[in-house]
Amino acid sequence: MSASGNGGGPGDDEYFPTYEEIASELLEALEAAGLIVHDVRHDLEPSTGERRFECTARLPGGDPPPRYYATLHFHWDALLTYVGAYGGGSECDLYHEDDTPCPHQSHRPQPFVEIETHYTLGNSGYQLADLGEVPGWVATVRELLSETFEEEDQPAVRVGLSMSGTTVHVESFYAEHAWFLDADEPPDLAPLCRQVAAVLRLTPTLADRLPL
C-alpha cells in the first residue's frame, strides 16, 4: 500500500492511510489467502462522512457447506476521512482559526481501526430440545478454534435463541474476533486474512459434530 497524498501540515511527510487503501488491502489479502470474496459494501453517511466497509469471505469450490462463512467489517471515523484527505494538522481547521495555538499542530493523528470478523458456524432454525446442548456446542467450537488462535486471544462464541410458546429455536450460532489496527505505517493484513482462511478450513468439520 502506498502512502496517501495528504495535504500540507506538520504530518504531510508521514504516512496516514485512507479508507480506500485499507479496504483495498483487505480485499487483496483475502484473495491472496485463497478465499472467495463477495457482497462487498461501502456505506457512507453523507452528513458526517463516516464510512463502513463490509464483505463476505468463503472457501472456494463447492465442497464446503455453504453455511460456513466469514463477514469482515470496519468502521472509518469521519475525522479519519478528513485528515486522510487534507493531511495531519488539518483537523485544527474544524475547530478554530489557523493562527490559534493547538496541540494538533505538533502531534500527528492516530489512525486506529478495528477490523471485526464474524464467523457463521451453523444454520438458523434448529429446534432446541434441551438448553443443556448449548454449552457442549460452545465447548466444541472453542476446542476447534484453539487450533488457530492463541489462548489469550480466543474469539467470543455466541448463540442466539428465540422462543415461540414453549418451543426454542436457534436463531444464530457464530464466533466473533477483532483485530486492532494501528495504521501508523502501511499495515500488513496478510496474517489476519490467513487466519480467517485457516478458521474457514476447519469449520466444515463441525458438520459432523453439531446438529446445526
pLDDT (0 to 100) of residue 6: 44
pLDDT of 13-69, one tens digit each?
Answer: 567 788 898 999 999 999 999 999 999 999 998 887 889 999 999 999 866 667 899
Range 107-122 average pLDDT: 83
pLDDT (0 to 100) of residue 86: 66
pLDDT (0 to 100) of residue 120: 94
End-to-end CA distance of the chain, in Å? 40
Q: Please state the pTM of the whole predicted model.
A: 0.81
pLDDT (0 to 100) of residue 212: 78
Q: How far apart are CA 169 and CA 5, in angstroms?
A: 52
Confidence of residue 187 (pLDDT cuts 50, 70, 90): confident
How is residue 107 written as a grid cell? Answer: 502531534
Confidence of residue 12 (pLDDT cuts 50, 70, 90): very low
CA distances from 182 to 22, 107, 113 (A): 12, 16, 6
Query: Of all residues in the chain, what percent carry a pLDDT higher than 90?
Result: 48
Query: Of all residues in the chain, what percent carry a pLDDT higher than 70?
Result: 77
Closest CA to 122 of 37, 201, 65: 65
pLDDT (0 to 100) of residue 74: 96
pLDDT of 116-146, one tens digit each?
Answer: 999 999 888 888 888 888 999 999 999 999 9
Domain parsing of the chain, residue ranges: 19-208
Q: What is residue 9's three-state secondary structure? A: coil
